[in-house]
Amino acid sequence: MLRKPEMMKSAPWLRRSVPEKTLARFERKSNFGRRLESLHRGTFIAMRMSKIQLAIAVGCAGAGMLLLPRGAALGLNPPALNSGARAPAEGTAAPPFSLLGLDARNWTLAQTRGRVTVLNFFATWCPPCRAETPDLNAIERRYAAKGVAFVGIDDEESPALVSVFAKTKGVRYQIVMDSKSAVEHAYDVRAIPTTYVLDRRGIVRYRQVDELNAKTLTAVLEAVIAGKPIPQSQATRRFHGIVSTALRSLNEGLKSAKAAAPGKTPALDAAINTGTRANKSIDTLLSGPDSSSVSYFDVTKARGALNNALAEAYALRASGSDALEAALLRGQTYEDQERFADAAAQYEQAMQMAPKDTRGYDGAYLAQYEMHAYSRSLEIAQAEAGIAPQEPESWLTVASARNSLHQYGLALEAQRKALALASQAYARKPSAKDAAYELGRVWLKMARTEILAHDAASARPLLRQASAAAPQTIVDQQAAEQLAALRPSQIAIDGSGERGARGRSMNPAHVFVNVRNPSAQARAVNLAATGLPSRWLLSFCYGTVCNPYKVSFALPARGSKRVELLVAPLRETGGPWSMSLSVSGGSTARVNLDAKTAKAAILITAS
């Protein structure tokens, strides 16, 4: 079954030529307007035919975006159900926030006050996010001299993984970790990538849900810097023209149909044809090169009005599958409005009317997930797998549902069924790139489930299998990044306070360092000093502890400790002496000693 084109805008990644249906936790939060993060973390959503029209939007992965509720694939807890958060409108103040950066230091939005600021919500597993990164890098470099600040906001991923991604992609702007999705919720991020542009006073001047191209973002920044309105694109004018013309025709047709004798349907037929043609025209427009210049929020609102009218026409005609189409359209509109209970009711009706049509199951699954009804989501996924047991995506959806319930062993069982199907497809066509890609992404999903289960040892060979199955693809890239992130992170040494100090004769002097554990596990840390000249002492001091030459202590996951490096001569130095600290954020630092009786570069190592 082909994916509905109208989902393309809400699932920007879906427009890329990459195969798959459901990515991972929240890769995207769909056209239906609610947070769809993605069930299957780390899959691609392809432009291929998929078994689910509504849910294909739910599943771009690996190379693209996913459409399922945030945390679905990873078994994480999504934000509070429909708590009323709405995206900050243009012209309103951006919600303040404070988060930790990749260096574990606190960062606040207030630090950008006085500068035009670009806030980009992203994830490493999101294909469109990855695709737009080179443009973001280039534009950040171009506009840095004009005082524009770029900030990447990652949601719930491992700092180690995001650090590998940033290094690989050459990202030099600030990245902060929204580990509890609080900022994403405050900004009502419905899909990723989502971008906000703030003026120098912290007022929202632009917002978009889509992969931004350089042309669109450059035009926006030029307008905001100059204090001018954002120019309306030709694509935006075309979109509103299509919708307004179709709505006018639809409403006239509905009015005529209601006034006509019972059983007379020409006006309804014409109205339905008008609505479906308009949707096709919109799909074509939103699949074009200038689609990112059309506001996601305008699309959601306008298309909701169009689909409501179309659903009414279907309901009035009441022929064949009209009731089913009306229920699906209303379910989509309710999800756009984040009315998940109402959406679930419409999709459940669709399931009853057409028990073998997967569209109702896909929508119902997402709506139930948004309401945290994880057990019901699992029941729906299992029912859908019974309808389409030969589709790997069916079993990947079951696995995502299992992961949301922390049933990792059962999730792996479902993924093994998907693996068997993907392996059979690859064996039939070993030269087909789509088959190889599909096989690789199933291995990748299995690895991510093992990581959720805190079994890195089992995840590593699966990641290698993913890379081997789909070399030189986004699956390969993600597997390599995840594998690198699983390696124990080096303990980091940063400067803290003054970088230099002076001593007099035999009096000691000191500088301070901050020792960080960037990994997600608690670590035992060993500090050692080597290269001291004869008759000199370096001690590591913190709290009431002061140990000469070496010291050991424990650091919690992503924890840090401020340590004093106390240097003292054990004999007369013939006058004043000095020391200076040299750090690079790695696992070593140097204390440069300069005295009449000795000169040395003392090496401090952390392991």
pLDDT-derived band at 584, boundaries 50, 70, 90? confident
- Asked if 22 and 396 count as a contact pair (C-beta separation under 8 A), the reply is yes
pLDDT digits (tens, 9 = 90+) for 324-345: 999 999 999 999 888 999 999 9
Distance (Å) of CA 16 to CA 124, 436, 444 = 16, 17, 20
| Residue 560 maps to a domain | yes
pLDDT at 96: 97
Average pLDDT of span 83-105: 85
| Residue 290 maps to a domain | no
| Residue 310 maps to a domain | no
**pLDDT above 80: residue 98:** yes
Question: Cα separation of 466 and 447, whole Å?
Answer: 9
- Asked if 480 and 467 count as a contact pair (C-beta separation under 8 A), the reply is yes
| Residue 17 maps to a domain | no
Q: Domain range for residue 562?
A: 492-606
What is the pTM (predicted TM-score) of this model? 0.74
Percentage of the chain surpassing pLDDT 90? 72
**pLDDT above 60: residue 78:** no
pLDDT at 274: 92
Residue 152's contacts (CB-CB under 8 Å, 6 or more residues apart) are: 120, 122, 136, 166, 171, 173, 174, 175, 176
pLDDT at 44: 25
- Asked if 158 and 521 count as a contact pair (C-beta separation under 8 A), the reply is no
Who wins on pLDDT, 306 or 41? 306
- Asked if 230 and 220 count as a contact pair (C-beta separation under 8 A), the reply is yes
Nearest in space to 208 (alpha carbons), one of 41, 84, 109, 88: 88
pLDDT-derived band at 261, boundaries 50, 70, 90? confident
- Asked if 589 and 493 count as a contact pair (C-beta separation under 8 A), the reply is yes
Residue with tokens 């195969």: 19
Question: Cα separation of 21 and 58, whole Å?
Answer: 6
| Residue 558 maps to a domain | yes
| Residue 429 maps to a domain | no
Kindly report the CATH number assigned to the domain that includes residue 514.
2.60.40
| Residue 566 maps to a domain | yes
pLDDT at 64: 31
**pLDDT above 60: residue 61:** no
Who wins on pLDDT, 265 or 89? 89
Average pLDDT of span 88-105: 92
Nearest in space to 332 (alpha carbons), one of 243, 297, 340: 340
User: Average pLDDT of the chain?
Assistant: 85
pLDDT digits (tens, 9 = 90+) for 283-320: 999 988 888 899 998 998 999 999 999 999 999 999 89
Question: Cα separation of 285 and 521, whole Å?
Answer: 48
Domain count, the chain: 1
User: Across the beta sheet with 194-198, what order do the strands follow?
Assistant: 106-108, 98-101, 174-178, 149-155, 117-122, 194-198, 204-209
Whether the bond into 193 is cis, omega within 30 of 0: yes
pLDDT digits (tens, 9 = 90+) for 442-462: 999 999 999 999 999 999 999
| Residue 568 maps to a domain | yes
pLDDT digits (tens, 9 = 90+) for 423-445: 999 999 999 999 999 999 999 99
